[in-house]
Amino acid sequence: MTDASLEPGPVAIREPMRFRETRRAIRTYSRSFSSMLGLVIVIVFLFIAAFGPWLAPYPQDAYGAIDFGAKLLPPSAEHWFGTDQVGSDILSRVLIGARTTLQIGVTVTGIAILIGVPLGLIAGMTSGWISEGIMRVTDIFLSIPGLILAIAIVGALGPGIINAMIALSLVWWPGYVRLVQAKTLSQRNETYVDAARALGAGPLRVVFVHVLPNCLSPIIVKASMDMGMAILGAASLGFLGLGAQPPYPEWGAMISTGRAYLPDWWWATFFPGLAIYLTVLGFNLMGDGLRDVFDPRQR
Amino acid sequence: MLEPITTRPPDGPAMLSIRDLDVHFPLANGQLVRAVEQLSLTLRAGETVGLVGESGSGKTTVGKTALRLVKPTAGHIEIGGMDVIDVSARDLRKLRQKAQIIFQDPHSSLNPRMTIRRAVSEGLILNTDLRGRTLRDRVSETLTSLGLPAQFHDRYPHELSGGQKQRVCIARALVLDPDLLVLDEPTSALDVSVQAQILGILKDLRDTRPSLTQLFISHNLAVIRFLCERVAVMYLGRIVEEGPVEQVFDAPAHPYTRALLSAVPVPEAVKRPDRMRLSGDIPSPTNVPKGCAFHTRCPIAEKGLCDTTPPPALTPGPGRMALCHFAGRTTEQT
């Protein structure tokens, strides 16, 4: 996107206005230091998630290689983040764990959007018992603390990374229903929806061409923030022993096993914790920046 | 200044025919808003009819219901001879091409995520087989003819001024070449200089498309007089007076019409002796007064008659109608 708008190619000539919008958005976003910091962190995280196995100095350590001769070594030139209780290189495990973390974030947020957005649209566009039913079920879900419910679901399904993702997805969608329903309610009373109906647009066209595109901005903002929150949720489940099981390289599970070695062997928990902290921070800062760009009050 | 329109005799087939229309909205507290009650109005092909009344009188509801954007509680509506109440969704879409509407607020009647070219194209894509180059040309031509040159066509609504947006809305309606156009206070959200531009465009429309039937909803009497041949005055969901514009404005038969006309500000320092003031606000449409709906504010209401008996539709002149017990008497007085 950035490259395309800087080069006056044939596309830019055909649709100059669209790129003017894009340039304006980029300008607004890049004005803020924290947004740019968030973007940089997210890009670094995505890069590590993509190339982690090749970046890691001891990739076999991520999958349960044991070397008791090298256990609990402090950070050094050889092991930048030190080693854990079975002598695995923590840097390697953190780098390779990024992919798991990304999978969790994308899966949980994605499933939550796939469930929540259609339900929100239906609840917002209809009235009567369908809408009431959807909203009351949503309220019930929202009234129970998400992590507690997720723990209960994992408890029922049995611990494991897949089950943790399923549990988190099942508690994550109600937020999207609320968001999309509220936005849809305000959009459907806009005059341009009446105008579209007067032009002969059917209900599906009204929803997908007129209402949904105008709900996208808050969905994108919420999704980028939820990436961070879902990662944190999965790490919490991992820490409680309900998510990924050791020696699987998941940050929450790494903290959980490292906890027994605190405070003397602090690096076993500190570096996975730092990775979680930075990733969640990055997604949140990026979400804040996107909100600034999409917020109509800025226009 | 532009010349007022010359009156044409109301002949020809009915383009829009509304009979005994009721539109009621239930409120959450169980009350019923009687927005439109027993309203009948006929627009002949090629005619421009004004619909006036103060805020809350149900003008906009009539306009939206005529195009079936609001579902009526009871009554009959025909557009070009086609019933629009009991039709299938598919037949209703066919109607969309024949009847279009322009809304009051141009700022909210354009989708903020669509370029104006897309906004104007939408009706053609939905209703015709025009695609690609021909579609593009047709849209550009319509926009340009309304004073929006090519450099505007790929802009988003928030990059345009209010007057430009309203011109896009007019283009969006006209590009379908409709037979009936409902204009719902098309100028009242705009500032005065822009109002003049839009009125000029609408006046030109009368000259360039004489077959277009227009229902012009407004509370601005000067605009109605300028653009319309006939006028219908609404009060609390009913038409209280109807007739040719000059006759109604020069010799109003209904006391409400007289009050409306005398409320028009005139740029003279002289105090008019015949100024007629109405006390109080328009009653709530959830609780319409018994008898004549206007009797609570009427200066000539008679106890025992107006507050008990609904007034008959009297004919104070040819082609005229007034819903008042004294419609004959008041015309003689003025």
CA distance A214 to chain B (A): 7
A29 vs A77, more confident: A29
Tens of pLDDT, residues B7-29:
444 567 888 999 899 999 888 88
- Report the residue from B108, B156, B159 with minimal CB separation from A192: B108
Pairs across A and B, CB distance < 8 A: 68
Chain B neighbors of A25, CB-CB under 8 A: none
Single pTM value for the model:
0.78
- Report the residue from A18, A194, A209 with minimal CB separation from B69: A194
The span from the CA of A85 to the CA of A73, in Å, is: 9
Chain A neighbors of B103, CB-CB under 8 A: 191, 194-195
The span from the CA of A197 to the CA of B109, in Å, is: 11
Helix (H, G, I), strand (E, B) or coil at A272: helix
The span from the CA of A275 to the CA of A258, in Å, is: 14
Tens of pLDDT, residues B105-143:
888 899 888 889 999 999 888 888 878 888 888 899 899
Residue pair B251/B72 in contact (Cβ under 8 Å)? The answer is no
Interface contact B113-A191, CB threshold 8 A: no
In this predicted structure, what is the pLDDT of residue A95? 87
Tokens linked to B139: 């849209």
The span from the CA of B103 to the CA of A156, in Å, is: 56
- Average pLDDT (A64-77) is 74
Provide the residue count of chain B. Answer: 334
CA distance A182 to chain B (A): 18
A177 vs A88, more confident: A177
- Could you say which residues of chain B have pLDDT below 50? 1-9, 330-334
Residue whose entry in the numeric block shows the structure tokens 């959009």: A187
- Percentage of residues in chain B with pLDDT exceeding 90? 16
Interface contact B126-A21, CB threshold 8 A: no
- Look up residue B5 and give its DSSP letter: P
In this predicted structure, what is the pLDDT of residue A16? 54
Name the burial class of residue B303, with classes exposed (0-12), middle (13-18) and buried (19+) by CB atoms within 10 angstroms of its CB: exposed
Tens of pLDDT, residues A190-229:
889 988 888 888 888 888 888 888 888 889 888 888 888 8
